[in-house]
Structure 1
Amino acid sequence: MNANLKNCPQCGRLFSPGSRNICNRCLEKEEEEYMTVRRYVRDHPGASIFEASEETGVEEEKIMQFIRDGRLVTRGFKGVLQCEGCGKPINNGRFCDDCINERNNAIYGAARQPKPQPEPDRKPPSVGKRSERMHVRD
Structure 2
Amino acid sequence: MADLRNCQECGRLFAYQGKNRCRKCQENEEEEYLIVRRYIREHPGASVFETSEATDVEEEKILQFLRDGRLQSRGFKNVLECVSCGQKISQGRFCDNCTNQLAADFQKVAQPKKPRKQEPEPKRRQTDRIYTRGKDEG
Q: Does TM, normalized by the shorter one, top 0.5?
A: yes
Corresponding residue of 2:95? 96
Q: Which runs of 5+ in 2 are unaligned?
A: 121-138
The AA in structure 1 aligned to 2:72 is: V
Evaluate the alpha carbon distance shift between residue 14 and residue 32 of structure 1 in structure 2; reply closer, same or farther with a 3 A threshold: same
Shift of the alpha carbon at 1:78? Answer: 4.7
The AA in structure 2 aligned to 1:50 is: F
Task: Kindly report structure 1 stretches of 4+ aligned residues shifted beyond 3 Å.
Answer: 76-79
Q: Does 1:20 align with 2:27?
A: no
Count residues in correspondence. 122
Q: Which runs of 5+ in 1 are unaligned?
A: 122-138
Q: Distance in 2 between matches of 1:43 and 1:11?
A: 31
Contact 1:67 1:74 in 2 (8 A): no
Contact 2:39 2:51 in 1 (8 A): yes
The AA in structure 2 aligned to 1:60 is: E
What secondary structure is seen at the aligned counterpart in 2 of 1:98? helix
Corresponding residue of 2:60? 61
TM-superposition CA deviations, 1:116-137 (whole Å, max 9, x none) = 322344xxxxxxxxxxxxxxxx
What secondary structure is seen at the aligned counterpart in 2 of 1:101? helix
Percent identity, aligned pairs only, is: 55
Corresponding residue of 1:33? 32
Corresponding residue of 1:4? 3
Evaluate the alpha carbon distance shift between residue 28 and residue 3 of structure 1 in structure 2; reply closer, same or farther with a 3 A threshold: closer
Q: Distance in 1 between matches of 2:97 and 2:106?
A: 14
Q: Distance in 1 between matches of 2:114 and 2:84?
A: 30
Q: Distance in 2 between matches of 1:85 and 1:7?
A: 31
The answer to which of 2-11 and 20-29 deviates more is: 2-11
Contact 2:44 2:73 in 1 (8 A): no
The AA in structure 2 aligned to 1:55 is: A
Higher relative contact order (CA 8 A, sep 6+): 2
Shift of the alpha carbon at 1:112? Answer: 1.5
Q: Does 1:71 align with 2:70?
A: yes
What secondary structure is seen at the aligned counterpart in 1 of 2:38? helix
